[in-house]
Amino acid sequence: MEIRWLEDFIVLAQTRHFSRAADAQNVSQPTFSRRIKLLEEEMGTTLINRQTLPLSLTPAGDEFLQLCEQITERVRITRERLQDMAQQQASKISLGAPQSLVSHFLPDWLDQLQLREQVLPYLRATGWLAADYFHGLDRGECDLALCYWPQARVDLGFELDSYQYLVVGEETFIPLCAPGADGNPRHQLPGMRRNPLPFISPHPRAVIATSLMAHLAQVPIQAHLVTMNENIQAANIKALVLQGYGIGWLPQRLAAEEIASGKLVRAGDSRWDLRLHIRLYRPRVPRHDSVSELWHQLEAHFS
């Protein structure tokens, strides 16, 4: 049984005339009559008294008409509700970002710009590496990508000609470690060649790792580090550093509470700090008008 058969029956009950009902439903009269006959066969009873002029409904037809009106009304309301949901979903903008930005930058940033209802974090992206964000933009998995980015020119190994970006913030990655019993750092940069510092490293393909290596190469004093662990998530690096396994460069926002409480201490002075931009990327040709409209607003705010 099809919904349009129920609609046909309602129109026939209103017009009491096969030809006029067929015209109202934009079908030929033979097609309309066949659909009414199929409906009667489906219900297992005669719904239309064809012997009267005008046509009339049988008692079963009167009962069935009420059901048809209830069903078609529910379908109409549900269809409108689903269309509204689809329109609302189409206006939502998905944003991919690392876990540390999702948890310690994005909420305040969205609130300040009053975008909390419009921009939704794409949580599957929290474990992505740099190139993954641009693949995600290309595949349409997310509309925007929020990334840490080196302030100095660093070769990251992929082309960015197909994307536009805005600098929307900054973050400082600080070398931190757990304190010893005396409150002093367990590990102190630069370390020694014969006794390198245990290093909890970002993943080698992460922007942070590439930027950090480029930054350390510019510091006049050589850092002596031995990698103990490589991790995509800054939160995981922080957990290992808190347990005393080594030194790690952590976002200041992410580690602020532990620094304030003394659970983490600096493993080096500010020359070892890595300062990164926070960039917002989009494809040069966005998939949705809502992305273009939002981008114009952000350009006016950040340019």
User: Which pLDDT tens digit goes with each residue over 129-159?
Assistant: 989 999 999 999 999 999 999 988 877 777 7
Is 49 in the same domain as 104?
Answer: no
Is 107 in the same domain as 226?
Answer: yes
Question: What is the C-alpha separation between 38 and 280, in angstroms, rounded?
Answer: 58
State the average pLDDT over residues 122-135.
Answer: 92
55 inside domain? yes
302 inside domain? no
Is 280 in the same domain as 159?
Answer: yes
| Cα distances (Å, whole numbers) of residue 285 to 62, 119, 164 | 57, 18, 9
* pLDDT tens, position by position, 156-183: 777 788 899 999 999 999 999 999 999 9
Which among 33, 62, 90 is the end of a domain?
90
Q: Given the structure tokens 């349009």, which residue do they identify?
A: 4
Residues in CB range of 164: below 8 A, 6 or more apart: 281, 282, 283, 284, 295
* pLDDT tens, position by position, 236-257: 999 999 999 999 999 999 999 9
Residue 87 pLDDT = 65
Domain range spanning residue 137?
96-297
CATH code for position 272? 3.40.190.290
- Which pLDDT band holds residue 204 (cuts at 50, 70, 90)? very high
Which among 73, 90, 107 is the end of a domain?
90
Contact assessment for residue 278 and residue 168, using Cβ atoms and an 8 Å cutoff:
yes
Is 211 in the same domain as 118?
Answer: yes
- Which pLDDT band holds residue 276 (cuts at 50, 70, 90)? very high
129 inside domain? yes
Is 271 in the same domain as 124?
Answer: yes
CATH code for position 55? 1.10.10.10
Count: domains in the chain: 2
